[in-house]
Amino acid sequence: MHTQIGIVGAGPAGLLLSHLLHLAGIDSVVVERQSRAHVEARIRAGVLEQGTVDVLRESGVGERMLREGLVHDGIELAFRGEKHRIRFPELTDGKRITVYGQHEVVRDLIAARLAAGGPIEFETEDLSVHGVQSDRPLIRYVKGGVQHEISCDFLAGCDGFHGVCRQAIPAGLMQVFEKVYPFSWLGILADAPPTQDELIYSNHDRGFALYSMRSPEVTRLYLQCDPADDIANWPDARIWDELHQRLEGGDGWRFREGRITQKGITAMRSFVSAPMRHGRLFLAGDAAHIVPPTGAKGMNLAVADVRRLARALDTFYASGRTEALDTYSDLCLKRVWKAQRFSWWMTSMLHRVEGATPFEREIQLAELDYVTSSEAGARTIAENYVGLPFD
């Protein structure tokens, strides 16, 4: 088989790229290791920047998001037992965020691609890519015991941090930047209607906590924990007790508990692979960069990447011009590094650091006091949180 764009990975990056290319009249095939059911059930981030919402809406896959997503006008930062609200619209010329689960975005994109007849190869084995520096790169995989090979004009590596595409880049042609944080997040999903309209980020002496939501019926909550901790050490009662201590202050607010349907521990890391282009291979999303979830940037960076890549490929096929393809990596990385800076800053400001001195602790609290009492400080959080311009 031959296609114009071979896409590895059926996450939001790969699926949205395929959809945007379809709208431009460019053929693509998406190849994915996992089953459709597995891909649609993966629970990941759920905060969409204004730019991400606009891309999904303008490309015709945002109807359910606009109907079911939860639009938020701000977030709250809690410290020293008090909550302080950062108001987005008045600080960002009307921009907001929308809470709508990544798995819901994936479901919408899969439905759109299949309705348009777009090929998605699920449940593949022995997936590999070859010839990324050649004029005709290849995707090889086994499905149903049969070997398949797809040749393409260009490859898009949208297969995540552990995928095969970045591994196919020849040694010495890639520079890696990485930071591993000395704490993790314990996250839960609970069948409990949210008792708060917006997210609460809490800096507490016992450690960071985040109150979030996924729908009008489901609450999403996180606790800072030790990276070496085992989820077996966290029975439900201990989780709820710790969340109540870290999130509830002296204002009388209490959140609802509910049946915990999912829990797990997630490592915190920052990672950037540069450049994001190698010959005919273009990396996008988690295949090229990982951010700690504190800044809610992961999926939004993936959307910004593939939007730029789709436009560059459209220009190439329409005119033969390669300037947009040639600048893809540099322009994406400018936005990636700004998101890394914001995510690192939010993470550093909100988490308890083991071994921190009393001086360092007071500096952390002073930073929170500044950003919640100064319009300039609040604007810094607001404009980064709702999303910097995609262009």
| 100, 141, 181, 201: the active-site residue | 201
Is 22 considered catalytic here? no
The DSSP secondary structure of 147-162, one letter per residue, reads EEEEEEEEEEE-S-TT
Given a contact cutoff of 8 angstroms between Cβ atoms, the answer to whether 353 and 362 are in contact is no
Is 181 considered catalytic here? no
Is 103 considered catalytic here? no
Given a contact cutoff of 8 angstroms between Cβ atoms, the answer to whether 141 and 121 are in contact is yes
Is 297 considered catalytic here? yes
- Residue 90 phi/psi, 5-degree rounding, is -75, -15
Distance CA 331, CA 335 (A): 7
Two tokens, residue 49: 């920047």
| 72, 83, 95, 204: the active-site residue | 72
Given a contact cutoff of 8 angstroms between Cβ atoms, the answer to whether 236 and 165 are in contact is no
| 19, 211, 293, 328: the active-site residue | 293
- How many angstroms separate the Cα of 375 from the Cα of each of 283, 346, 347, 363, 372? 37, 17, 21, 19, 8
The secondary structure of residue 206, as a DSSP letter, is T
Is 328 considered catalytic here? no
17 membership: H or E segment, kind and range? helix 12-23
| 19, 95, 289, 297: the active-site residue | 297
The residues assigned a catalytic role are 72, 201, 293, 297, 385
